[in-house]
């Protein structure tokens, strides 16, 4: 008996020692080894601190930055506020630096050629695993790797082709009208009004996604996305605290609520999908919405290979619907809100954009062809995405030792790509890097970047944002509609406080107001003035050129009267 007891005690002791060693190895020995290895290759950064690494400093800087707003004229202020710790590390340690996320090291790189390598070699540099609590809100294309990612990307890509997006223009327009009608009502009684545009822009992009993702099931879509919004708030709450493995299965009040929401969402989307599949079998159903197109390309793939494994399961399609919402909603409203802020500050660009919209689109129905001719608006969006990228940084990881340029990166290292720091770097953009200057994009992105991988608002390489054209068309339509009907400036009470909650957004309520000239007046004046100029100058000059090109000669067109004065004189005699 004693013998058995001894064996049990000795086994327990060995197990405890082994566990303790694992712990010491994970939390101390390995990080210190990695630190030495990375430092020897030229990566600088804080010394590894047991367990928490840089997390305390990072969180303190984050809180400090959030505690006070900045001036809209403070060029460095934006970096200090939005990416406080990376900005501080860049200044202290240079462009290749280490940050300790607990006991895991992340090396940040800013060399465009190395960034290109990281984004291109998908197998060497996969995405880090997201927190299990966050996986409840959506998995799908954004999180998949390897063959599963390739399969889904191939099946989803066709839904975002320009040909397909063309048919969504009316849906974008309808959602925009809903927002603008609300603004018009707000100002019509007083002539001008303070409008908190951020919640309205969020509602706009939600509305757009519901309409374009689910088509005729738009109302149900709205309800699903309301639930997803609630789910993301609960997730954000859960992410505030350290995650203990398995905690998501503990029946706490929050976990139960999150599971209930998840069940409801799954149930509703499944219902819509089943109805769509039934309708598609009878030749109806795909009305040009994202879900219909995804199901169509899925069934084509299954038919082509005569094998279900080549397509997506219903569960996977459900996840992709959720991804469209999370990846596409706040990102696009972020682009629109910072565009409105920057065009308030740079009124000359607001006027140039309006002039272009009125010139190119006039009163015509919006279509893709017209939108493609909005060059100034395009330049403005590129510049806003450079200075206020909705996603301020990306990460990848190394699972087995790899070389990257001259570096050898050991397994367990993460790689940080600091989008925002890249966008503000004078080496990349010249001495006016921090200034708003859309003209730098006058000859397109390749010219502005000299074909270097330095501009990354939508990521880069095979995993570049699948929805970038969708987002830019949506934003163009919304901005064109706003410009046609309103002029605006910042409210005296506006506080400039950009911060990141998944995307870059205004921290305090952001009040963008119309000019002292009433919105409705602005609307009338802008449209009437345009009509007058168009009828009395632009159109006659166009006609003149057209007719002269065909050999018709005659007096030059003279404003308003044309030849009427001379006609009058001749007839008098």
User: Does residue 391 touch ligand HEM according to CB under 6 A?
Assistant: yes
Smallest distance from the beta carbon of 394 to ligand HEM, in angstroms?
Answer: 5
Burial of 255-290, coded b for 16+ CB within 10 Å and e otherwise, reads beebeebbeebbebbeebbeebbeeeeeeebbebbb
Residues 529, 553 contacting (CB under 8 angstroms): no
Question: Which residue, 191 or 459, has its beta carbon nearer to ligand HEM?
Answer: 459
Smallest distance from the beta carbon of 484 to ligand HEM, in angstroms?
Answer: 22
Smallest distance from the beta carbon of 354 to ligand HEM, in angstroms?
Answer: 22
Q: Which residue stretch of 87-95, 272-280, 462-470, 494-502 sits at the interface with ligand HEM (rule: CB under 6 A)?
A: 462-470
How many angstroms separate the CA atoms of 482 and 172, rounded? 13
Residues 108, 418 contacting (CB under 8 angstroms): yes
User: Does residue 463 touch ligand HEM according to CB under 6 A?
Assistant: yes
How many Cα atoms sit within 13 Å of 572 on the Cβ side? 6
The SS3 call for residue 412 is coil
- Residue 187, CA distances (Å) to 272, 413, 486 in order: 39, 54, 10
Question: Which residue, 248 or 476, has its beta carbon nearer to ligand HEM?
Answer: 476
User: Does residue 172 touch ligand HEM according to CB under 6 A?
Assistant: no
User: Does residue 332 touch ligand HEM according to CB under 6 A?
Assistant: yes
Please report which helix (H) or strand (E) contains residue 514, including its range. Answer: strand 511-514
Smallest distance from the beta carbon of 406 to ligand HEM, in angstroms?
Answer: 24
**Number of neighbouring beta carbons within 10 Å of residue 236:** 14
Smallest distance from the beta carbon of 314 to ligand HEM, in angstroms?
Answer: 18
Question: Which residue, 54 or 474, has its beta carbon nearer to ligand HEM?
Answer: 474
User: Does residue 457 touch ligand HEM according to CB under 6 A?
Assistant: yes
User: Does residue 164 touch ligand HEM according to CB under 6 A?
Assistant: no
Q: How would you write 264-287 as a 3-class SS string?
A: HHHHHHHHHHHHHHHHHHCCCCCC
The C-alpha torsion from 58 through 132 and 124 to 468, rounded to 10°, is -80
- Residue 193, CA distances (Å) to 183, 240, 429, 512, 572 in order: 9, 37, 38, 9, 55
Question: Which residue, 152 or 248, has its beta carbon nearer to ligand HEM?
Answer: 152
Question: Which residue, 463 or 485, has its beta carbon nearer to ligand HEM?
Answer: 463
How many angstroms separate the CA atoms of 313 and 319, rounded? 10
Smallest distance from the beta carbon of 470 to ligand HEM, in angstroms?
Answer: 5
User: Does residue 376 touch ligand HEM according to CB under 6 A?
Assistant: no
Instruction: Give the nearest residue (CB) to ligand HEM.
Output: 467
The C-alpha torsion from 214 through 215 and 220 to 226, rounded to 10°, is 60
Question: Which residue, 319 or 356, has its beta carbon nearer to ligand HEM?
Answer: 319
Name the nearest CA neighbour of 521 among 196, 194, 200, 193.
Answer: 193
Among 232, 331, 350, 487, which residue interacts with ligand HEM (rule: CB under 6 A)? 331
151 CA to centre of own chain: 23
Smallest distance from the beta carbon of 144 to ligand HEM, in angstroms?
Answer: 7
Smallest distance from the beta carbon of 324 to ligand HEM, in angstroms?
Answer: 4
Question: Which residue, 69 or 292, has its beta carbon nearer to ligand HEM?
Answer: 292
User: Does residue 467 touch ligand HEM according to CB under 6 A?
Assistant: yes
Q: How would you write 23-58 as a 3-class SS string?
A: HHHHHHHHHHHHHHHHHHCCCEECCCCCCCECHHHH
User: Does residue 466 touch ligand HEM according to CB under 6 A?
Assistant: yes
Q: Which residue stretch of 166-174, 460-468, 513-521, 534-542 sits at the interface with ligand HEM (rule: CB under 6 A)?
A: 460-468
Among 34, 293, 323, 481, which residue interacts with ligand HEM (rule: CB under 6 A)? 323
Kindly report the CA angle at 370 between 526 and 383, in degrees rounded to 5? Answer: 75
Q: Which residue stretch of 10-18, 183-191, 310-318, 330-338 sits at the interface with ligand HEM (rule: CB under 6 A)?
A: 330-338
Strand partners, 97: 44, 108
Q: Which residue stretch of 20-28, 96-104, 269-277, 456-464 sits at the interface with ligand HEM (rule: CB under 6 A)?
A: 456-464
Question: Which residue, 142 or 448, has its beta carbon nearer to ligand HEM?
Answer: 142
Residues 119-158 that bind ligand HEM (CB under 6 A): 127, 141-142, 153
User: Does residue 418 touch ligand HEM according to CB under 6 A?
Assistant: no
Smallest distance from the beta carbon of 157 to ligand HEM, in angstroms?
Answer: 9
Kindly report the CA angle at 454 between 451 and 459, in degrees rounded to 5? Answer: 105
Among 109, 201, 335, 398, which residue interacts with ligand HEM (rule: CB under 6 A)? 335
Question: Which residue, 205 or 512, has its beta carbon nearer to ligand HEM?
Answer: 205
Per-residue contact track with ligand HEM, 267 to 306, x per CB under 6 A? ----------------------------------------
Question: Which residue, 453 or 465, has its beta carbon nearer to ligand HEM?
Answer: 465
User: Does residue 488 touch ligand HEM according to CB under 6 A?
Assistant: no
How many angstroms separate the CA atoms of 115 and 305, rounded? 36
Name the nearest CA neighbour of 43 among 125, 119, 105.
Answer: 105
Residues 166, 463 contacting (CB under 8 angstroms): no
Residues 238, 253 contacting (CB under 8 angstroms): no
User: Does residue 215 touch ligand HEM according to CB under 6 A?
Assistant: no
Q: Which residue stretch of 100-108, 248-256, 306-314, 387-395 sits at the interface with ligand HEM (rule: CB under 6 A)?
A: 387-395
How many angstroms separate the CA atoms of 424 and 71, rounded? 17
User: Does residue 380 touch ligand HEM according to CB under 6 A?
Assistant: no
Q: Which residues bind ligand HEM (CB under 6 A)?
A: 127, 141-142, 153, 323-324, 327-328, 331-332, 335, 390-391, 394, 457-459, 463, 465-467, 470-471
């Amino acid at each position: 008996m004693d013998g058995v007891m001894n064996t049990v005690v000795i086994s327990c002791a060995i197990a405890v020692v082994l566990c303790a060693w694992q712990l010491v190895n994970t939390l101390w020995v390995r990080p210190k080894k990695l630190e030495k290895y990375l430092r020897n290759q030229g990566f600088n950064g804080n010394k590894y601190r047991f367990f928490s690494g840089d997390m305390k400093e990072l969180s303190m800087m984050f809180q400090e930055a959030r505690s006070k707003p900045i001036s809209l004229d403070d060029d460095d202020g934006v970096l200090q506020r939005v990416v406080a710790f990376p900005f501080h590390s860049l200044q202290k340690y240079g462009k290749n630096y280490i940050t300790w996320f607990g006991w895991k090291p992340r090396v940040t790189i800013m060399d465009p050629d190395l960034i290109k390598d990281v984004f291109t070699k998908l197998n060497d540099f996969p995405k880090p695993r997201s927190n299990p609590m966050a996986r409840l809100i959506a998995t799908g294309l954004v999180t998949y790797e390897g063959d599963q990612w390739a399969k889904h990307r191939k099946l989803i890509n066709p839904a975002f082709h320009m040909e397909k997006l063309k048919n969504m223009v009316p849906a974008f327009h309808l959602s925009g009208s809903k927002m603008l009608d609300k603004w018009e009502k707000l100002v019509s009684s007083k002539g001008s009004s303070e409008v908190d545009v951020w919640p309205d822009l969020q509602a706009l992009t939600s509305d757009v996604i519901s309409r374009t993702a689910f088509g005729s099931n738009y109302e149900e879509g709205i309800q699903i996305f309301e639930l997803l919004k609630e789910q993301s708030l609960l997730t954000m709450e859960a992410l505030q605290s350290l995650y203990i493995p398995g905690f998501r299965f503990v029946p706490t009040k929050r976990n139960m609520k999150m599971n209930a929401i998840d069940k409801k969402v799954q149930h509703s989307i499944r219902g819509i999908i089943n109805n769509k599949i039934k309708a598609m079998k009878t030749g109806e159903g795909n009305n040009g919405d994202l879900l219909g197109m995804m199901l169509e390309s899925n069934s084509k793939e299954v038919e082509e290979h005569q094998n279900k494994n080549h397509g997506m399961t219903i569960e996977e399609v459900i996840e992709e619907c959720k991804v469209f919402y999370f990846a596409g909603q706040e990102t696009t409203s972020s682009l629109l809100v910072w565009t409105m802020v920057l065009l308030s500050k740079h009124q000359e660009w607001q006027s140039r954009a309006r002039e272009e919209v009125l010139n190119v689109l006039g009163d015509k129905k919006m279509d893709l062809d017209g939108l493609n001719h909005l060059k100034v608006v395009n330049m403005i969006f590129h510049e806003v995405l450079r200075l206020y990228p909705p996603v301020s940084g990306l990460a990848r990881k190394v699972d087995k030792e790899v070389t990257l340029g001259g570096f050898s990166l050991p397994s367990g290292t993460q790689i940080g790509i600091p989008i925002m720091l890249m966008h503000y770097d004078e080496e990349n953009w010249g001495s006016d890097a921090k200034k708003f200057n859309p003209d730098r994009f006058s000859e397109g992105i390749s010219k502005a970047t000299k074909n270097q991988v330095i501009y990354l608002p939508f990521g880069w390489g095979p995993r570049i944002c699948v929805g970038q054209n969708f987002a830019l068309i949506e934003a163009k339509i919304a901005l064109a509609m706003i410009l046609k009907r309103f002029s605006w400036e910042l409210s005296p009470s506006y506080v400039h406080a950009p911060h990141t909650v998944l995307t870059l957004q205004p921290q305090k309520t952001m009040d963008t107001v119309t000019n002292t000239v009433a919105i409705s007046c602005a609307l009338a004046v802008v449209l009437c003035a345009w009509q007058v100029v168009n009828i009395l100058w632009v159109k006659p000059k166009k006609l003149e050129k057209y007719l002269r090109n065909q050999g018709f000669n005659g007096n030059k067109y003279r404003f308003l009267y044309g030849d009427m004065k001379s006609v009058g004189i001749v007839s008098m005699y």
